[in-house]
Structure 1
Amino acid sequence: MLSLVTPSLKSSRHRKRTAQEKLYSYNPLRSPRHIRLLKLLPGEGGTWLRCSLVEVHLETNLPYQAISYAWGDANDQRSVLCKGKFINITRNLLDALTVFRHPEAARYLWADAICINQRNEEERSAQVQLMGQIYSKASQVLFWVGME
């Protein structure tokens, strides 16, 4: 018998953030060939997802895994903690990161909703042009089809 064990994602720690709470402020990328990688810090269960963003050249030797997923409901926003500030993401990406998070080791990932500054139209447009290369240079592509 095959069973799927998934963490409880109903924790109040993943509640919707209010506008007055501090949002993460992205630094501009150094060049058009630079990308950000998500360093997902270890943890388990319903604890906050904590991370940092690491800027690297697209030709980096740092192995990373790219996540392929559907954004899901854009109105169902959750947050991850990035260096003490909040980055809003969809519930579907939160679920994926919660499942992909290692309990004892950091993991380098690429997820467009976090690694691209979604509030900067110029950056978003330039980075979308690189997505084929970003996925092809990943050591592995993780496909997320949802919790159900």
Structure 2
Amino acid sequence: MSPTSGEKSRLYKNLRLGIDPFNIRLLQINNSRPEDKTKGNWSVPISMNMQTFKLDTAPPFRCLSYVWGNPELHSVFVNGQLIRITKNLLGFLRRLRAGSSRPDGWIWVDAICIDQTNDVERTQQVKGMGAIYSKADMVMAWLGWEWDRQGDGSDNGRNPLAPEVEDASEYAVDLLVLIAKQLRAYMANGGKVWSKNFSQYALDDPAMYTMLDMKA
């Protein structure tokens, strides 16, 4: 189910992209106000600003890669207007605002930055996604919450007033960064990543970590 609603129509009408596939919309998350801390950061609604840019002259931005997940919809504010997004995306936006990265930077999120109700625009933007991702300073992968054992983006079971702690997704990203580093060293020493000798091992096979000089 697409995270869309009729409530978005006025928002996109005021931020038209036209026929140029390299016009894009970018989002900026508003930081929590000091007084919001007393309410619990997780209970405060997400508020964002969205603007249109030409891709070639856009400010530095990051792209989000994530699974749309549970079709249960939740509310956020974009340019002061209430819109609906999936629970999994809400979790990412909460985490970003909490300070896991730069909450004041520009981000591109397909579910919001593309008008999902406009077939022509969606087709044009999908065709240009390769260029959008290539232009981005960083691509962020949201792997979900540590307590989300079902993979549905749920935050059930957590205390919304509790301080955020490092979760499993951050450990996964740290591991991927380490693997990439070791792969570069492996290739620099003449190792071939796509060789039969290497590709026979699964990511969780201790033999692969031995080849990369890592502890399993």
**Alignment-mate amino acid for residue 86 of structure 1:** L
- Could you say which residue in structure 1 is the equivalent of 2:142? 144
Higher relative contact order (CA 8 A, sep 6+): 1
- Could you say which residue in structure 2 is the equivalent of 1:35? 24
2:63–2:138 contact (8 Å) kept in structure 1: yes
Taking structure 1 as the reference length, the TM-score comes to: 0.78
Give the Å deviation of 1:61: 4.3
Give the Å deviation of 1:60: 2.3
Mean CA deviation greater in 110-119 or 29-38: 29-38
Verify: 1:50 aligned to 2:47, yes or no: yes
Verify: 1:68 aligned to 2:57, yes or no: no
Verify: 1:77 aligned to 2:73, yes or no: yes
Give the Å deviation of 1:88: 1.1
**Alignment-mate amino acid for residue 81 of structure 1:** F
Matches within 5 A, 1:1-148: 23-24=7-8, 25=10, 26-27=12-13, 28-30=16-18, 31-43=20-32, 44-74=41-71, 76-101=72-97, 106-148=104-146
Cα distance in 2, alignment partners of residues 101 and 131 from structure 1 = 25
Give the Å deviation of 1:134: 0.9
2:65–2:139 contact (8 Å) kept in structure 1: yes
- Alpha carbons of 1:89 and 1:133: their partners in 2 closer, same or farther (altered >3 Å)? same
1:87–1:114 contact (8 Å) kept in structure 2: no
**Alignment-mate amino acid for residue 29 of structure 1:** L
Q: Which has the higher strand share?
A: 1
Identical positions, percent: 38
Give the Å deviation of 1:139: 0.6
The higher radius of gyration belongs to 2
Cα distance in 1, alignment partners of residues 141 and 53 from structure 2 = 23
Give the Å deviation of 1:80: 1.0
Cα distance in 1, alignment partners of residues 103 and 26 from structure 2 = 16
2:96–2:103 contact (8 Å) kept in structure 1: no
Give the Å deviation of 1:132: 1.2
**Which blocks of at least 5 consecutive residues in structure 2 are unaligned?**
33-40, 147-216
How many residues in Structure 1 have an aligned counterpart in Structure 2? Answer: 127
1:41–1:107 contact (8 Å) kept in structure 2: no
Aligned residue for 1:118, secondary structure, equals coil
Cα distance in 2, alignment partners of residues 83 and 59 from structure 1 = 24
